[in-house]
């Protein structure tokens, strides 16, 4: 017990740079809007190359595409529905969502957070690229405050590429398919068109692709605590670090409690 031995050493510092990715929550300070639900969805054709990126589909309204459908978010687009073309798709698909951001929130910081997008994602807000992310294993977020139109509808576009290679996790490869028609009682059948690509995984599960977890628009005060790091060791010394988004005119209060909820130490830190 540090308070009994009297050897409690407290070190603290205030960092301005480091960040961490917290799970979203609603409390008296922060809130979020869920962007889950039906998103507009457009699939690129087989062997589409990078047709969407090349033609800047991010500047277009995917809603106006004749072949646009809707896709639930979160879900694996290739594991829903009955279309084998969508199930076997390799390459890009595009998602779009329109979101009204009220004028009321114009002083809040707006952060777009994705729980998981598999595999490679490029994110655009109001047609402008805001971030890209590799891999569906971890969440990612991007501050879009400067791109948001307050009191107006905002267009969020996400291009997702599920092509696996020797440098992805898991690793995969893809084969170019030769037209390989089979003659079944006079009917000429072929599963894939000539030159289509087919994924060859070196793993024993399905390559679930798309926006696999929830998406939120997180609203937080512009000045906020970004990180708290506490290191306590057996000598009774105790190090804590907090990171704030800005050091301008802020004051950080740190209270330490014992097991009976009594305050054993109290700090007010005024960064210099
Ligand atoms: C969907 O429509 C776009 C725009 O007309 C087109 O470029 C794209 O090839 C179409 N997708 C498929 C799978 O045909
Ligand atoms: C995206 O998919 C295409 C296949 O349609 C592939 O050629 C390309 O390398 C992929 N790009 C990235 C960045 O994963
Ligand atoms: C397909 O098989 C049928 C016999 O089942 C045969 O009469 C026909 O010539 C074959 N067609 C081709 C293109 O090989």
Does 103 lie in the same domain as 176?
A: yes
What pLDDT does residue 43 have? 95
User: Residue 195's pLDDT is what?
Assistant: 64
Phi, psi of 32, deg, nearest 5: -155, 155
| Atom number of ligand 2 nearest to Cα 163 | 2
Mean pLDDT taken over the chain: 85
> Do 52 and 176 share a domain, yes or no?
yes
- pLDDT at 167 (0 to 100): 87
Average pLDDT over residues 155-170: 92
Q: Which atom of ligand 1 is found nearest the CA of 57? A: 4
For residue 68, the CA-to-ligand 2 centroid distance in Å is: 21
- Residue 26 placed within a domain: no
Residue 254 CB coordination number (10 Å): 15
CATH number, domain at 39? Answer: 2.60.120.260
Pick from 78, 221, 240: nearest CA to 161: 78
Confidence of residue 74 (pLDDT cuts 50, 70, 90): very high
Instruction: List the residue whose alpha carbon is closest to atom 6 of ligand 3.
Output: 186
β partners of residue 125:
128, 156
Residue-number span of the structural domain to which 12 is assigned: 2-20+224-269
Element (H, E) at 185: none
Q: Is residue 110 part of a domain?
A: yes
């Amino acid at each position: 017990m540090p308070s009994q031995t009297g050897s409690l050493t407290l070190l603290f510092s205030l960092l301005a740079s480091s960040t961490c990715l917290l799970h979203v929550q609603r409390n008296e300070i922060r809130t979020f809007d869920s962007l889950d639900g039906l998103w507009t969805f457009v699939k690129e054709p087989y062997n589409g190359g990078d047709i969407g990126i090349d033609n800047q589909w991010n500047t277009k309204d995917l809603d106006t595409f004749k072949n646009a459908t809707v896709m639930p978010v979160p879900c694996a687009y290739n594991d829903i529905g009955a279309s084998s073309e969508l199930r076997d798709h390799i390459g890009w698909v595009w998602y779009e969502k329109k979101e009204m951001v009220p004028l009321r929130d114009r002083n809040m910081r707006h952060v777009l957070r994705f729980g998981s997008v598999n595999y490679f994602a490029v994110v655009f807000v109001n047609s402008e690229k805001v971030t890209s992310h590799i891999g569906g294993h971890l969440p990612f977020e991007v501050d879009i405050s400067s791109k948001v139109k307050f009191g107006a509808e905002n267009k969020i576009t996400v291009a997702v590429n599920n092509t696996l290679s020797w440098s992805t996790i898991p690793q995969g490869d893809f084969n170019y398919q030769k037209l390989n028609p089979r003659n079944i009682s006079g009917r000429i059948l072929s599963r894939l068109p000539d030159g289509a690509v087919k994924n060859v995984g070196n793993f024993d599960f399905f390559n679930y692709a798309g926006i696999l977890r929830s998406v939120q628009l997180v609203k937080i005060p512009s000045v906020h605590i970004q990180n708290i790091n506490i290191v306590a060791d057996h000598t009774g010394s105790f190090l804590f670090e907090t990171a704030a988004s800005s050091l301008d005119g802020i004051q950080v209060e740190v209270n330490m409690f014992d097991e009976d909820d009594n305050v054993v130490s109290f700090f007010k830190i005024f960064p210099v």
